[in-house]
């Protein structure tokens, strides 16, 4: 597999060869591309071989040269439960969903109950916009088969692989939970006003302030041995509303993350020198809070995203998919 930053002309030439592609980049550039075997999503933030960067003149192209066949679908929010229906046996599924859309919310809340979701590796990401355009410009996804741009639903790329191939989907979470505070929430959702601590329910916003919890760092839950993050979006002390980039689940125990003094170094240490031929995406919150602009995080390159997907929606996580296994 090849991961490259290409000009629109170079990308169009690659599409014309019939290659199967996952493409990330500025909306205006994605709109110029010809029809073909590709899906695309909007972001200008990238982790490149030279480090994190805002890229507005090129597209990040992952060419899946081991693909034996491919099919593309656009799913409306109501059709998301049929996500696994297009799986190619022995293959993988890639998916992109626009941030702040109905599909984003529905997949986050209901995705684990979709039939067949865990039958093969499912990797994807939540598309975004330049930070200054949040609320003014809608993130988008592209169905390369038809050339259509969508701001709702999901684009799904089902890929067949050579017989015997064992693709490896993994997540890298550099955060560790504190052991002095356990939180549970009375309701599932993307926001909360109350939280239960040591059997007592109290306002969440005031608890965060009193305990000095750094909301640049996520809450962490243990899901069958995997550390899964839920990141803070905002805290409104006046109303008591606390919003998250992924839903908190009622009854699940969450713990605040320990301080992380150097994001880029932590990723580089965890990742080593691998990743050159691997699909990957990393979270915009890691990029921002970790000051990753110009910083390298090992050899894993790819889009910086507004949410990551490894079967389920993730936050502040690096997701990798190795097709060479």
Sign of CA dihedral 97, 99, 100, 106: positive
pLDDT band at residue 134 using 50, 70 and 90 as cut-offs: very high
Q: Give SS3 for 31.
A: coil
Lowest-pLDDT choice from 142-156, 241-255, 274-288: 274-288
Q: Write the pLDDT tens digit of every residue in 43-70.
A: 999 999 888 999 999 999 999 999 999 9
- Of the chain, the end-to-end C-alpha distance in Å amounts to 12
- Residue 136 CB contacts under 8 Å (≥ 6 apart), including other chains: none
Q: Which two tokens stand for residue 99?
A: 């941030």
pLDDT digits (tens, 9 = 90+) for 307-316: 999 999 999 9
Confidence of residue 152 (pLDDT cuts 50, 70, 90): very high
Q: How far apart are CA 275 and CA 293, in angstroms?
A: 19
| Domain-wise residue ranges, the chain | 2-171+264-322, 189-256
How high is the pLDDT of residue 325?
64
pLDDT of residue 269: 76
Residue 291 Cα distances to 269, 315, 320, angstroms? 16, 17, 21
**What band does 299 get if pLDDT is binned at 50, 70 and 90?**
confident
Q: What is the DSSP string of 176-228?
A: -B-SS--BB-SS-EEEESEEEETTEEEEHHHHHHHTT--TTSPEEEEETTEEE
Residue 264 scores a pLDDT above 80:
no
- What was the pLDDT predicted at 122? 98
Q: And the tokens for 7? A: 């000009």
């Amino acid at each position: 597999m090849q991961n490259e930053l290409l000009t629109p002309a170079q990308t169009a030439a690659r599409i014309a060869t019939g290659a199967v592609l996952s493409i990330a980049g500025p909306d205006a550039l994605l709109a110029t591309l010809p029809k073909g075997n590709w899906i695309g999503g909007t972001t200008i933030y990238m982790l490149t071989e030279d480090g994190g960067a805002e890229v507005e003149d090129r597209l990040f192209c992952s060419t899946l040269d081991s693909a034996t066949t491919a099919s593309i679908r656009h799913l409306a929010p109501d059709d998301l439960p049929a996500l696994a229906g297009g799986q190619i046996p022995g293959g993988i599924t890639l998916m992109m969903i626009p941030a702040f859309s109905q599909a984003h919310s529905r997949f986050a809340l209901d995705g684990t109950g979709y039939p067949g979701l865990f039958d093969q590796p499912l990797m994807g990401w939540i598309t975004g916009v330049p930070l200054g355009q949040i609320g003014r410009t809608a993130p988008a996804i592209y169905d390369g088969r038809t050339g259509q741009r969508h701001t709702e639903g999901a684009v799904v790329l089902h890929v067949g692989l050579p017989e015997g191939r064992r693709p490896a989907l993994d997540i890298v979470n550099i955060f560790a939970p504190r052991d002095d505070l356990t939180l549970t929430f009375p309701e599932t959702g993307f926001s909360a006003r109350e939280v239960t601590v040591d059997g007592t329910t109290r306002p969440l916003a005031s608890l965060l302030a009193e305990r000095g919890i750094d909301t640049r760092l996520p809450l962490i839950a243990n899901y069958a041995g995997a550390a899964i993050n839920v990141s803070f979006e905002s805290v409104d002390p006046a109303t008591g509303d606390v919003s998250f980039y992924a839903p908190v689940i009622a009854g699940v125990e969450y713990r605040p993350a320990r301080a992380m003094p150097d994001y880029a170094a932590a990723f580089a240490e965890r990742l080593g020198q691998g990743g050159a031929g691997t699909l990957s995406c990393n979270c915009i919150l890691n990029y921002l809070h970790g000051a990753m602009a110009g910083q390298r995080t090992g050899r894993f390159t790819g889009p910086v995203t507004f949410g990551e997907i490894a079967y389920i929606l993730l936050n502040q996580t690096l997701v990798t998919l190795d097709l060479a296994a």
